[in-house]
Structure 1
């Protein structure tokens, strides 16, 4: 081994140190200037992009960055910030961003409503710029064709309000949080309290516009059915930048009925929850009954207890609802006085914990969240009813942990009628309900964060015997980095498969093939995006398919030798 002299060693180490130093401010400014110059040259000159570009030196930079961050965990003093924010004002601004980012090898994050639970749409471990879509939010409702052309930056509240402006008997099946952005919500499948009647959001999408990796604006016809299929349930950020969706509106009654009933453990909650699980997925499709379980202070000496909340939307009048509940779910003891008849639009206020009588409908046009908090979410799917003993064990565990809330959303109805391969969203037939685990807190600090996150992880772990297995299914719109992170290196396919199978089951491999075809350089990527298929990934995919068919010999010659000797099968 050759040994360097002390003088040469010092010189070598000095070079290493210099090369490892971060870029100077001058170099950073030069890179920004070059990128901005590229943006200007590649955008439509009739729609100047300069007004949409914000650097950290701009006084509006911080307020723009803060405006759509919903999870305070992704907004700390140590969180990496983008070096530029582009608030696209025109489609050409999106096209320029894609083209110039690739030309200068820059990492791009795409933000819509900001409700990404893990902040993956606006936070990165590497230097990045932010493409914010909130200005592209036009909504064109056509009642004659029962459709709406909605740009990705619109919020669900805005969509609902604009539909109701044109018709009192039309709606759209999507989420009940009005500040959620359309682009992320729908591209990840979307769901709401009409899914038992009309399926998830993407089941009611008939067209889309996307900017692909080449900067082209494509619709369903020009992008092809494979790419259209991929962006209706797998998250659009893996394949391009969603510009708009064309939605098929659904019919709703002029008056719907909502109710909320709360019961504690002491007031027979166990029996009600046990019966709910048999009724909710099998009752009339017009009725959706969500169950919320949480720990509260009981009436006896301040001891902790479990409260079960049943909150429902019925696409009909209260008299019909009472008759149906008396027949199918008498254990709840629903009374006429607990029912509220209202318009479908106003029912959304009820579901967002607002006073229907005192709250103006225009609040649905508000784009800011009512409050900000630190949060962690996880998800599960349940295929078999849980015994009373099982529920009592869950109560005990929740009381022991003291924190953590579980939301149970029943399936059945239309959800059970659509094949799991119709869209990338595979969690349809065979599931009784979906669980969302919630942990919310308002104090900052690592110790506090660790406490709440570990609590929700422990509750999730406790639920293992009761939920889906092989894989343990999860919902992509409830993004959970505990399932795995992709570093987009040589092991990208293998890292992606860890979380990808949980989110997409058997649809994962088709998504990988589409991704590899439309974005072979893996430009559109994030911590849990669909990976491209490298050579080693292709071998793995072929191997998995062969294993399912028990045809291993062509891939592993040694198996042939062992088989001949009677050592296999």
Structure 2
């Protein structure tokens, strides 16, 4: 069966194929009455929901890999760009916005998660969410997990291909470090796995942005071992309670903690309308019981004054609910793809050494001087396993640093001012950023060709995301997509030689 709203040269070529093979596909056109509703279903950043935002000509929801193959072939033959959407959390809307005629391949039906506990692996389709992965692993084993992110509605297609940081990275690395195989539809519509795509392309899609090279169909991931009981805690400290000194201490110590202890900080303005102040939330997970955690904290970070009353023991899968602020809900909520939609701007950086107390006071002032939409600073420590993995092991190069991510719900002036001020304290030559926190402020692609296009990208956003790995990514791009079909504002440019 073929469900269509109208016809064009593009849809006609699809009709021919799908009628021949009696396949099922939903193709929604811009004239369909359900078009906007379907377009906005997975859209998370409301900045890109305005009527003036460019819309796709078609939204296609394939149900089989062969559908994706033919969409790529048809799009290429008819002059359409292909944008791929799994969870819709793309910070700059790359997965659903383009200034040229384009189609969205929405992978909402590619959500199968097959778990092999004996082999300690899982095949995960690219349209599944992080929450769905966590849920299905937990249904097969309470001693296995996967090192991915916090928000359960993020799609694994983009999350893993961008690196995928999360609460388990100090013990097991980022999500992309734990990929064993992958399936991808290339620019010629061929379905490839690790063996047939070759090690160069397999290297590139694990942290280099899969949509730069094709359409990721599925990942084979390594399951990691977790304890039956983990311990979590949230301890909020405000400025008047000594938050500045405590955060300064955290900067110097968090990356040195035992790898079983992950403690991030979330900094935000409290009481925006009266008696405004800064609150630093110490948000943590420990692989073990409270009895083992308290002596470790007394040794590693006694200044926090952690007590048993601050701690909760639970299973690993319940800790994912806790970290997503869903604790107390049934684990089936991890299957929910609906997520609150907001206006936001994300920025990221990697801090090499602790910011002084004097400079922290200046940062607090910038945050407190903002409007009622002050930014949130989320700071994740590295160390542990992250220090043991080489920068060129996969394209994600950021290892012995910690991330300072910033998100603003509506107004972005304060966050840009804060990011500018942070420039003196963070990574330099080049300044670093996290691909999953995509940021067009760093620069976008232009129409320059050849070596000029490569240099323009490298000197703006390329080296910031990938450091020295950018050159190899551009060489892989030239090998698998020399005509740059899979293009977007920050896609890897093809480079034949340096």
Structure 1-normalised TM-score?
0.84
Query: Counterparts of 1:509 and 1:198 in 2: how far apart (Å)?
Result: 27
* 1:453 aligned onto 2:412: yes
Question: How big is the shift at 1:514?
Answer: 0.4
Offset at residue 80 of structure 1 (A): 1.2
Give 1:281's match in structure 2, choosing from 255, 261, 271: 255
2:468 equivalent in structure 1? 506
Query: For 1:97 and 1:332, how far apart are their aligned partners in 2?
Result: 55
Note if 1:107 corresponds to 2:81.
yes
SS of 1:281's equivalent? Answer: helix
Q: How does 1:59-208 map to 2 (within 5 A)?
A: 59-208=33-182
Deviation at 1:106, TM superposition (A): 1.2
Say if 2:294 is the partner of 1:322: yes
Q: Please say if residues 43 and 96 of structure 1, whose CA atoms lie closer than 8 Å, have aligned partners that are also in contact.
A: no
Question: Which has the larger displacement, 271-280 or 261-270?
Answer: 271-280
Distance 2:140 2:42 in 1: 29
- Pick from 411, 420, 442 the counterpart of residue 483 of structure 1: 442
For residue 522 of structure 1, give the secondary structure of its aligned residue in structure 2: coil
Shift of 1:461: 0.5
Deviation string for 1:458-515 (max 9, x for gaps)? 0000111110001000000000000111134435323322211100010000000000
Structure 2 partner of 1:493? 454
Q: Deviations over 1:135-190 (max 9, x none)?
A: 11111000010000000000011111000000000000001111000100001111
What number of residue pairs does the alignment pair up?
A: 489
The alpha carbon displacement at 1:59 in A equals 3.3
Partner in structure 2 of residue 407 of structure 1: 378
Residue in structure 2 matching 1:232, options 206, 209, 226: 206
CA gap 1:44/1:466 in 2 versus in 1, 3 angstroms? farther
Equivalence for 2:278: 306
For residues 114 and 246 of structure 2, the distance between their equivalents in structure 1, rounded to whole angstroms, comes to 44
Distance in 2 of aligned mates of 1:44 and 1:252 = 48
Q: TM-score, normalised by structure 2?
A: 0.95
Deviation at 1:274, TM superposition (A): 1.2
Structure 1, residues 52-74: CA drift from partner, whole Å, max 9, x if none? 21112333322211110000001
Correspondence for 1:525: 487
Q: 2:14 aligned with 1:39, yes or no?
A: yes
Match of 1:515 in 2: 477
Q: Which moved more, 1:58-67 or 1:325-334?
A: 58-67
1:229 is paired with a residue whose SS is helix
Is contact 1:486-1:528 (8 Å) kept? yes
1:413-452 alignment, distance < 5 Å: 413-429=384-400, 431=401, 433-441=402-410, 452=411
Q: Calculate the aligned-residue CA RMSD, in Å.
A: 1.6
Contact 2:82 2:102 in 1 (8 A): yes
Gaps of 5+ in 1: 1-28, 442-451, 542-569
Q: 2:332 aligned with 1:362, yes or no?
A: yes
- Equivalent runs, 1:549-560 vs 2, <5 Å: none
- Is 1:392 aligned to 2:361, yes or no? yes
**CA, structure 1 residues 62+276, in 2 after alignment: closer, same or farther (shift >3 Å)?**
same
What is the distance in 2 between the residues matched to 1:76 and 1:190? 29
Please give the alpha-carbon distance, in whole angstroms, between the structure 1 residues aligned to 2:490 and 2:466. 12
Distance 1:136 1:525 in 2: 23
For the residue of structure 1 that corresponds to 2:349, the secondary structure is: strand
Greater shift, 120-129 or 198-207, is seen at 120-129
Q: CA deviation at 1:129?
A: 1.2
Cα deviation for residue 397 of structure 1 reads 2.5
Alignment partners' CA distance in 2, 1:409 and 1:44: 51
User: Which residue of the other structure, out of 381, 384, 391, is the alignment partner of 2:350?
Assistant: 381
**1:210 corresponds to:** 184
Q: Distance in 1 between matches of 2:18 and 2:289?
A: 53
**Preserved CA contact (<8 Å) 1:44 1:92:** no
